[in-house]
Amino acid sequence: MGFVHKFACLCLLLLASLGQASAATKDDSQAAIALLEKALAYYHDNGDKAFAAFSRQGEFVDKDRYVFVVDTKGVMLASGGPSSALIGRDVSEVLGPDLQKAFKQALMVPEGNGIQQAEYRWQNWADGKVERKHVFYQRIGQRILAVGYYLPRASAEQAKTLLDKASADLGKDEKGTLTAINSLKGGYLQDDLYVFVVDLNTQRYVAHGTNLRLINTDFGKISDPEGKPVGEPILALIGKQDEGEYEYRWKNPVTGKVEDKHAYLKKVGHFLVAVGYYSP
């Protein structure tokens, strides 16, 4: 799929998913809204002349947050990010008839509804990973101004969903699932969520979604960065029950920082399957 096609799909998801967005990270949310409000005020005073300011590295770019503008015909008019390569192009034309129709309908967001929001998955140009992105946007006349940011942390509900998927898959295809987890395929790595599996007979890792160096390592000897035991209490917990939860400190693979992690645990045959979400 080409860049233009992918960006058109992005716009479709962005504008069509109103009301489906989850709660955004508070600080990032406030910063994105502030940047959008600043852009809206600037556009109010300068009209389309504002596009030049939106499309250069300056006051309308804040870290990975930037302003972009499309018109109601699907043409990219301005962007302070990598999508500036699409300025002047009708991104809706690369879609098939059905998607093109849906895209054009989504672009006809009624004016006067204030700032809207949406959430979708999109490639982060900073690291090349497909991550969740939260976007705020507002229509002004025939223009739609938007600002988005990437969400580095997945939710508790997403962690539970991934655990259920991995557990079900492991029960159906043990070898294939372990191979897929270790090869980062099969949807077992999502943002900062990943699956790890321990063989309860040997108490050693047999699969890990981000760190293959842990394979065959004794899970019972694993400790957090401060030396507090992690593996031993988890094994003790899952030895008494088929499911459980455990909290500890661990490095977030997306932010690179040691954060609080809440792990959901499930016993599948002679395996321990775990997925955890992070919080700052």
- Which residue is associated with the tokens 């991104």? 91
Q: What are 81-132's pLDDT values in tens digits?
A: 877 877 898 876 655 554 466 556 657 778 888 898 876 656 666 666 566 6
CB atoms within 10 A of CB 144: 24
Domain regions of the chain by residue span:
3-150, 156-279
To the nearest whole percent, how much of the chain has pLDDT over 90? 56
**CATH architecture of the domain with range 156-279:** 2-Layer Sandwich (3.30)
pLDDT at 139 over 70: yes
24, 116 Cβ separation under 8 angstroms: no
Q: What is the pLDDT of residue 90?
A: 82
What does the pLDDT read at residue 174?
96
**And the tokens for 198?**
């321990």
Identify the CATH homologous superfamily for domain 3-150: PAS domain (3.30.450.20)
How would you class 261 by CB atoms within 10 Å of its CB: exposed for 0-12, middle for 13-18, buried for 19 or more?
buried
Confidence bin at 23 (pLDDT 50/70/90): very low
pLDDT tens digits, residue range 47-81?
999 999 999 989 999 988 999 998 888 888 999 98
Cα-Cα-Cα-Cα dihedral sign, residues 156, 159, 165, 170: negative
pLDDT of residue 122: 60
Q: Is the pLDDT of residue 10 over 60?
A: no
Cα 111 to chain center, whole Å? 29
